[in-house]
Amino acid sequence: MWRIVRRRKFRLRQNIASRSIVALVLLGLLAACYPALDWREIRSDEGRFSVLLPSKPRIESMPLSAARPEVLLHQWSAQARKTAFAIGYAYLPPSDSTAGTTLATSPQS
């Protein structure tokens, strides 16, 4: 009796796992082969990343906050089929006397 139950549970787990893998592979193939999307690999040596974006990205660099303008946010963004895709990074300076404060500080009264 217990052997039958164990075998059924094992087979059920195998079926779920194999169906999930097949579904993920099919979704990946459909997304990668869709002709309206022009997937491009974007690399940033400074940010130490690489990513695929579905169209030519817009590149921006801006201060992360007015209180700390030396901290720049570098961002790549692209739009495809009414969906926005973005990646970015910012280097924070080493700890200093402002440790424990937030980047956006409110004025003191």
DSSP assignment string, 43-88: EETTTTEEEEESSPPEEEEEES-SS-TTSEEEEEEEEETTEEEEEE
Residue 82 covered by a domain: yes
Q: What is the pLDDT of residue 58?
A: 94
Q: How confident is the model at residue 34 (pLDDT cuts 50, 70, 90)?
A: low
Could you tell me if 29 and 48 lie in one domain? no
Which domain range does residue 60 map to? 36-94
75 within some domain: yes
The pLDDT of residue 100: 53
Is residue 2 pLDDT above 70, yes or no? no
Same domain, 43 and 89: yes
Question: Domain check: are 9 and 49 in the same one?
Answer: no
Most confident listed range (10-19, 69-78, 94-103): 69-78
- Structural domain count of the chain: 2
109 lies in some domain: no
Judge if 40 and 74 occupy the same domain. yes
pTM of the entire structure?
0.53
